[in-house]
Amino acid sequence: MREYETTYILEQSLSDADVDQTIGKIGEIIKKNNGDVLHSQNIGRKALAYRLKKQTKGIYASLDFYAESAVVAEIERYLKYNEKVLRHLTVVLADTIDPDARRKQLEEEAIKLAAKAAMAKDAPPTTNKYNDD
């Protein structure tokens, strides 16, 4: 099995429930074909670099998973024919994977990021000693 990451952009007019439904559908496809989702993330609404299907903003989402290569073809087919999806891209992250070790690594990274964000929130504001304002 390989580890993959699929990133896709959905239409900006979708509700959070519709976005969650799309993420869930892809998760179902993966699990139905003996794979598993390691991490899914709704990144949120962002401006697009250029217009896609007359849209200037989109909802970005990302999904890390491990599965056989045939599963990727099924996911790509689903995303290609889903009218709510503006663009999608799937990349191989690793040729072989130990699912338990990778989950543990992702959890550790999430803890580090949360701690870093908490430290940044509690840090005193920086001042510029050369600025006379």
Looking at residue 132, its pLDDT comes to: 53
Q: Averaged in consecutive runs of 10 residues, what is the pLDDT profile of the chain (133 residues)?
A: 90 89 89 88 88 89 89 92 92 84 82 80 62 53
| 59 found inside a domain | yes
In the structure encoding, which two tokens stand for residue 116, read together?
Answer: 């870093």
CA distances from 81 to 91, 96, 117 (A): 19, 29, 38
| 49 found inside a domain | yes
Looking at residue 127, its pLDDT comes to: 60
**Amino acid, res. 62:** S
| 106 found inside a domain | no
CATH number at residue 80: 3.30.70.60
The residues that bridge with 66 in the sheet, in sequence order, are 3, 36
Looking at residue 95, its pLDDT comes to: 85
| 11 found inside a domain | yes
| 128 found inside a domain | no
Domain that holds residue 56: 2-95
Domain count, the chain: 1
Q: What is the pTM of this model?
A: 0.76
Q: Is 48 exposed, middle or buried (0-12, 13-18, 19+ CB in 10 A)?
A: middle
Looking at residue 110, its pLDDT comes to: 80
Looking at residue 98, its pLDDT comes to: 79
Looking at residue 99, its pLDDT comes to: 76
Looking at residue 124, its pLDDT comes to: 66
